């Protein structure tokens, strides 16, 4: 197997950890430090229902933790992709791709999330360990 193919597990781990760490950083202030109410008001100011602030903040913080660990990677990545798509649409689009507050960074995160949806968390993930633990060895069905 060529070297680039052997590095794929590390590449997926890198994508997961990077995306997870960024999401944790962005979600922490929204979930803790009294930022949730501020986030609700910000979401409402964008013309969206305020209750959407809760899944957004929890996806960023708790979803980020799950991504770092490699637990339900595809599902969490889909939620992050939706979160970033809404952020681009409602907050960053008006600033252009490279302008101050532009959508370059959230678009990059969305593409990473899309890659993780497509490829999964990889073999260096707790999901893989759970899969292995859940599969009992097959027993012979020969009766004596």
- The residue ranges of every structural domain in the chain are 10-125
Contact criterion met (CB below 8 Å) for 65 and 57: no
- pTM of whole model > 0.85? yes
Q: In this predicted model, what pLDDT tens digit does every residue of 59-101 receive, in sequence order?
A: 999 999 999 999 999 999 999 999 999 999 999 999 999 999 9
Q: How far is CA 84 from CA 5, 91, 97, 108, in A?
A: 29, 10, 14, 9
């Amino acid at each position: 197997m060529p070297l680039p193919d052997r590095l794929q597990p590390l590449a997926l781990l890198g994508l997961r950890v990077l995306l997870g760490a960024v999401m944790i950083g962005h979600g922490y202030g929204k979930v803790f430090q009294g930022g949730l109410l501020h986030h609700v008001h910000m979401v409402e100011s964008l013309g969206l229902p305020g209750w959407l602030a809760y899944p957004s903040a929890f996806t960023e913080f708790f979803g980020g933790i799950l991504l770092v660990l490699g637990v339900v990677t595809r599902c969490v990545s889909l939620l992050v992709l939706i979160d970033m798509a809404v952020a681009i649409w409602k907050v960053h689009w008006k600033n252009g791709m490279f302008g101050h507050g532009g959508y370059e960074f959230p678009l990059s995160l969305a593409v990473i999330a899309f890659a993780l949806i497509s490829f999964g968390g990889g073999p260096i993930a707790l999901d893989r360990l759970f899969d292995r633990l859940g599969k009992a060895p097959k027993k012979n069905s020969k009766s004596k």
